[in-house]
Structure 1
Amino acid sequence: MIPKVIIHNSISLDGSTTGFEANIEIHYKILSSFQPDAMIVGSNTAKTGTQFFCEKIPPEEESDFKKPEIQPDDPRAYWLIADSKGILEGLMHVFRRSEFSKDAIVLVSERTPEAYINYLKERNYDFILTGADRVNIRQALEIANEKYGFELVVSDSGGVLNSILLEHGLVEEISLILTPEIVGKKGTNLFRTLEKNGTRLELFRDEIVEKQYVHLMYRVLKE
């Protein structure tokens, strides 16, 4: 069984995910209202996001090699981080220390460097291995549901991963926070790598937030 997947993102008026200052407080307040079991994010987005957690990457400590003790009533979500190339080697402790997640589970493929797999094992990170050259997202989500009981996963990522999720028909809903700003030609389109045409949506919620932001919720219509 595949968990319900919601894409959540803050965009400019012209559909860019970069080139403007998103309201992080509103972004994560709305995201947390979904009460997801896990958030899925691509490795590039995760690497960029380390700047929000610390100005400088701190050295690892002994505690970073141990799984955190998780209480049954902990409301935080896990992070599913797709990283088949191992670009987060040396950075994973930043996410493990975050107050916003229970712990990180890494999605890897058969082509993931062995050194990175060993890095994860030595630090007791759970990882899900699927796919040959890159992560098989559908299979990874199925395993996440079977192994961890995840029923709702929210994508808080960039255009590449979001496009893959849509391309494979895994997305049920799209949540967008519209920011009153136009980026122009230097913008980065939310679904810039999507090859599939004609994805039809149905608006089922619209709300003005703090007088200037608009939260839109769409249902992805099945073909």
Structure 2
Amino acid sequence: MIPKLIVHNSISLDGSTTGFEANLDIHYKLLSSYLPDAIIVGSNTAKTGTQFFCETIPPEEESDFRKPEIQPDDPRAYWLIADSRGILEGLLHVFRRSDYGKDVIVLVSEKTPEGYINYLKERNYDFIRAGADRVNIRHALEIANERYGFELIASDSGGVLNSILLEHGLVEEISLIINPVIVGKNGTNLFRTLEKSDIRLELLKNQIVEKQCVHLVYRVLKE
């Protein structure tokens, strides 16, 4: 079974994910309100996102090689990071240390470098191998449901991964925080690589948050 998937993102009024400073308190407060079992992120978004957790990447410590102790009542989600090329080698401990997630589970493919697989094993990171070249997201989500019992996953990623999720019909809801800013021509569209057109949506919720932002939630209508 594939878990329910919600795309969650903060964007400008003209649909950009970059070129402005998002309110992370609002972003993560609304994201956590869904109580997702895991938050799926693409490797490029994750690499860029390390700057939000720390100004410079700290060196690894002995504790970074061990799984964190997780309490049964811990409400936080797991990080589910798609990284078939291993670009996060040397960076994953930033996510393991963060207060926003329980621990990291990495999605890899058959072509993922063995050096990166060894890096994951040495540090006791769980990983899901699905797909020949790139990660087969549908298969990976099925495994995540079977292995960990994940029933709800939220995507907190950029345009590439979100487009893939929509292309494959995996998204059930889209949650957008509209920020009061227009980025213009230098913006990065939320679904910039999406080739599928005419995806129909149904508005479920619209709410003003913090007097400035608007939270919109849509259901993705199935064909």
Instruction: Please tell me the TM-score bracket, short chain as reference.
Output: over 0.9
Count residues in correspondence: 223
Looking at structure 2, the residues matched to 182 and 33 of structure 1 have their Cα atoms a distance apart, in angstroms, of 27
Query: Are 1:102 and 2:102 matched, yes or no?
Result: yes
Question: Which residue in the other structure is 1:136 paired with?
Answer: 136
Looking at structure 2, the residues matched to 101 and 13 of structure 1 have their Cα atoms a distance apart, in angstroms, of 29
Question: Which residue in the other structure is 2:72 paired with?
Answer: 72
Question: Which residue in the other structure is 1:199 paired with?
Answer: 199
Looking at structure 1, the residues matched to 94 and 181 of structure 2 have their Cα atoms a distance apart, in angstroms, of 31
Matches within 5 A, 1:62-211: 62-211=62-211
Q: How much does 1:37 deviate?
A: 0.4
Looking at structure 2, the residues matched to 142 and 60 of structure 1 have their Cα atoms a distance apart, in angstroms, of 32
Structure 1 stretches of 4+ moved >4 Å = none
The secondary structure found in structure 1 opposite 2:160 is helix
Q: What's the RMSD between the two structures over aligned residues? A: 0.6
Runs of at least 5 residues in structure 1 that lack an aligned partner in the other structure: none
Q: How much does 1:73 deviate?
A: 0.5
Question: Which residue in the other structure is 1:22 paired with?
Answer: 22
Q: How much does 1:69 deviate?
A: 1.0
Looking at structure 2, the residues matched to 94 and 23 of structure 1 have their Cα atoms a distance apart, in angstroms, of 21
Looking at structure 2, the residues matched to 144 and 40 of structure 1 have their Cα atoms a distance apart, in angstroms, of 11
Looking at structure 2, the residues matched to 56 and 12 of structure 1 have their Cα atoms a distance apart, in angstroms, of 27
Looking at structure 1, the residues matched to 190 and 140 of structure 2 have their Cα atoms a distance apart, in angstroms, of 23
1:92-147, Cα deviation, whole Å (9 max, x unpaired): 11111111111000000011111000000011100000001100000000000000
Q: How much does 1:204 deviate?
A: 1.1
Seq. identity, %: 83
1:183-206, Cα deviation, whole Å (9 max, x unpaired): 111110000000111100000100
> Given residue 118 of structure 2, which amino acid in structure 1 is its aligned partner?
N
TM-score, normalised on structure 2?
Answer: 0.99
Runs of at least 5 residues in structure 2 that lack an aligned partner in the other structure: none
Q: How much does 1:212 deviate?
A: 1.4
Looking at structure 2, the residues matched to 190 and 130 of structure 1 have their Cα atoms a distance apart, in angstroms, of 25
Question: Which residue in the other structure is 1:219 paired with?
Answer: 219
Looking at structure 1, the residues matched to 154 and 120 of structure 2 have their Cα atoms a distance apart, in angstroms, of 23
